[in-house]
Amino acid sequence: MKLVSAKLLPSPSLSRAPQAPDANAHVTSQTCLDTGVDGGYYTPASHLLEVEGLRILLDCPIDLSALTAFSAVPLGASSSSGDAEDLIRGVPYYRSPTAVAAAKAGRIDAVLVSSATGLLGLPFLTRLPGFANTKVYVTEVAARMGSLMMRELVEMHREFVRCYGPDRDQSPVWMEGEKLKKLMSVLQKITTEDEENNNLAALVSLYSLDNIEECMQKTQYVKYGEEVCFNGMLMLKASSSGLELGNCVWTIKGPRASMTYLPSSIFVSAHALDFDYSSLKGNDVILFSDFSSLNGMYDDNKKMGEHIVDETDILLASNSVFRDDGMDEDETIKFLCSNDDIAEEIERISFICSCIIDAINSGGSVLIPIGRIGIILLLLEHMSETLHSSNMKSQVPIFMISETAEEIITFTNALPEWLCKSRQEKLFSCEPLFGHVELLKEGKLSLFSHLYSKGLLAAWKEPCIVFCPHWSLRHGPAVHLLHRWRADKRCLLVLEQGVDAELTLKPFMPLAIQVLGCSFLSGIKVGKIDPLLGLLKPKLILFPEGQKSLCPATDKQPWSFLYYSKGKTIEVPNMREEFEVRMTTEVAFGLQPRQLDKTTAVARLKAKLLLSNGQYVLAAAKSELDRSERHLLHWGTVDASCIPSALQEKGIVCSFSADADYSAPSDRERVISITSPGEALVKVTSERTTIYCDDEETAERVYDAFRSICNGI
């Protein structure tokens, strides 16, 4: 198959389906459905694209922060619920503005998922009858992790159902009166002003295990670097984002433009495969969707109540400053891929481990309700080293309590190709990929699905360290353990910053337990955004309106900006004036070109213009081109000196205008008047020869005469 660059010329002999596009037409539109919450790790942003007539949804998360308006599941009739009298006691609804907005938009042709958390809201959408044919593209690791997280969420939700009764078809009782006002006040803290009237519309009842199964049946797994074709029109490719195992950046290539969907990313990771930015070079458009700069990582740490540990101030991450003093590409790459990110992350992990050791030494237990798989793996690894160096390894049990704990830990040990290079090298040297492997072998780390598992009851010993990825503190083992330890000032609760700590901890007041607020790297640092864009060299960047000050447009930048905001649709102009057309071998071998000059040869063909693998293709038509057929458009150069003899041979009587000097420069117009066998007028220039005649028989005879002296086609 030969690759040519061409502009399609309309001609009766050329199939005109599909129509050659207008280069100035708007071919893509983008709508931001949700900007996520607190930097977007647990609730990433989501967008709706319309490309080449197809609707593509980018991520479909679920926002669990609305759960803070609900009271935690009570332990019993006599159990204390803290200062939670004004919280809602009932089966909660879940917030997914993306799924609700996508359902309202109607047809969704495909969904591109960039992370496991970006998959959690999808069953809300795929359970609707109008989305039966929607295709979902996601990496195998993100799909597996997301499926496990959804199943665990459904299992934990059953705690509310067992306590308050099954969900009802009509609106629940709590959607009335004072409880509704409380819910609205919570929602207003996590949404923008333009959403205030739609807060309740984004609340939906949770999906079922059957809905999850139906959703996962629509997924197509992709590997990093693998190109897949969607609908013949778009080529899709996932590249590593570095943030988490299986997280990816998407490249969307069509026949007229290429786009990068850039969610939260990290250049160098301590566990996942590094950010593959090089695969994004040269794409026309970048949809920048990294909202991590909005989280507490880059601001002064906010005190989370009087129980906060003051030492968390050292967790602040200083932004590296990039100064463009004519740095070449190698220097830019060195700056972007420095090990600062890993060093700072390890420093945070080490500090958390030191706080854990302090709590253990004082006789207290530690509760870690963090949902980040990568952070859990790093904490376990460094905890093993810390306990070993403190000579406490044989004394402190570590428990991981989760419905999916065993599956997740097993799965993370079986995917070396998704890990960073340093982890992959451990595989070749026959070392464990992660430090928790040794803890499991020695029996120091125990995995249990429930708090009431028989094995856990037998192994339970305090003080201990407990991991349970249920950061909402509204259901799951974390609720029960926090009730158990909340009054013990020796114990420690490790919370991620970004949650509303006051509201989250309200059901457990009064608290004596120490609370350590910590933040983790969730995306590209502000100082690295501009150097990255300079490396990728896009033509256009779609950038969040609320982050405009982080990357202001300047005259020196070769790219332009379009700013988007939630709920607003913007049109993206076509970035290419020309487009490439591939020609099949069959069509190419059937051409009979004529040489026009030293550099140009032309041929006439009859073909179908098709779309295949995101590119226009000229394929052979069903019927062969009739070489004897007269065409209304003939391409070539007329030899002016041969015109009189050619007309005479066809029996045509004519006269020439007085200025028709054939020895004159060829750019002059010559006019020929024909009187027999019919009347006609011929105008000859260096660019074209035009025949004007009302009689078809005369027109054909004149046409044949001129074609006989034309060296074209």
Reported confidence tier of residue 313, pLDDT bands at 50, 70, 90: very low
For residues 210-238, average pLDDT: 93
pLDDT > 70 fraction of the chain, expressed in percent and rounded? 79
Instruction: Give residue-wise pLDDT tens across range 251-278.
Output: 999 888 899 999 999 999 999 999 999 9
Phi, psi of 703 (to 5 degrees): -60, -45
Q: Which helix (H) or strand (E) holds 164?
A: helix 140-164
Residue 342: CB atoms within 10 A of its CB come to 18
Higher local confidence (pLDDT), 707 or 545? 545
Q: pLDDT tens across 456-469, in order? A: 988 999 999 999 97
Question: Which residues make beta-bridge pairs with 516?
Answer: 494
Residue in the block written with tokens 């609370």? 515
Of the candidates 537, 555, 41, 37, the one whose C-alpha atom is nearest the C-alpha of residue 247 is 41
> Which pLDDT score is estimated for 329?
83
Which letter does DSSP use for residue 121 in this model?
A: T
Between CA 694 and CA 13 the distance in angstroms is: 22
Report, as an integer, the average pLDDT of 539-554. Answer: 87
Nearest to 45 by CA among 274, 286, 264: 264
**E strand intervals along 420-530:** 445-448, 465-467, 492-496, 514-518
Distance of CA 539 to CAs 261, 542, 562, Å?
14, 10, 11
DSSP-derived 3-state class of residue 540 = strand
Q: For residue 692, how many C-alpha atoms fall within 13 Å in the half-sphere facing its CB?
A: 7
Q: What is the pLDDT of residue 390?
A: 73
Query: What pLDDT score was predicted for residue 711?
Result: 63
Averaged confidence pLDDT in the chain = 80
Highest mean pLDDT among 294-298, 403-407, 499-503: 403-407
* Predicted TM-score of the model (pTM): 0.80
Rounded average pLDDT over 557-573:
90
**Cβ within 8 Å of residue 428, ≥6 positions away:** none
| Residue predicted with more confidence, 58 or 690 | 58
What's the CA gap between 613 and 253, in Å, rounded? Answer: 9
pLDDT in tens, 349-375: 999 999 999 999 999 999 999 888 999
The predicted-structure confidence for 86-118, as pLDDT tens digits, reads as follows 778 888 888 888 998 888 888 899 999 999 999
Half-sphere exposure of 332 (CA within 13 A, CB side): 18
Greater model confidence, 602 or 405 = 405
For position 323, what pLDDT does the model report?
42
Once rounded to an integer, what is the mean pLDDT over residues 41-46? Answer: 90
DSSP string computed for 20-56:
PPPTTSEEEEEEEEE--STTSSSS--EEEEEETTEEE
- Could you tell me if 619 and 605 are in contact, meaning their C-beta atoms sit under 8 angstroms apart? no
Percentage of residues in the chain with pLDDT exceeding 90?
33
Lowest mean pLDDT among 391-395, 455-459, 615-619: 391-395
Name the pLDDT band for 604 (thresholds 50, 70, 90): confident
Task: Give the lowest-confidence range in 120-124, 308-312, 322-326.
Answer: 308-312
Report pLDDT for 416.
Answer: 86
Backbone angles phi, psi at 122, to 5 degrees: -65, -35
To the nearest 10°, report the CA torsion of 471, 475, 478, 480.
160
Which residues are within 8 A (CB) of 471 and not within 5 positions of it... i.e. 6 or more apart? 42, 64, 369, 370, 371, 478, 495, 496, 499
**Lookup: tokens for 236:** 């899709």
Rounded to whole angstroms, how far apart are CA atoms 661 and 670?
8
Distance (Å, whole) CA 231 – CA 164? 46
Say yes or no to pLDDT of 40 above 60.
yes
Does an H or E element contain 97, and which? helix 97-105
pLDDT digits (tens, 9 = 90+) for 52-69: 889 999 999 998 887 888
The dihedral region occupied by 200, where left means phi > 0, alpha psi between -120 and 50, and beta the remainder, is alpha
Instruction: Give me the pLDDT at residue 178, please.
Output: 63
Q: For tokens 């201990």, name the residue.
A: 464
Which domains does the chain carry?
Answer: 2-297+524-573 (3.60.15.10), 304-518 (3.40.50.10890), 640-707 (no CATH)
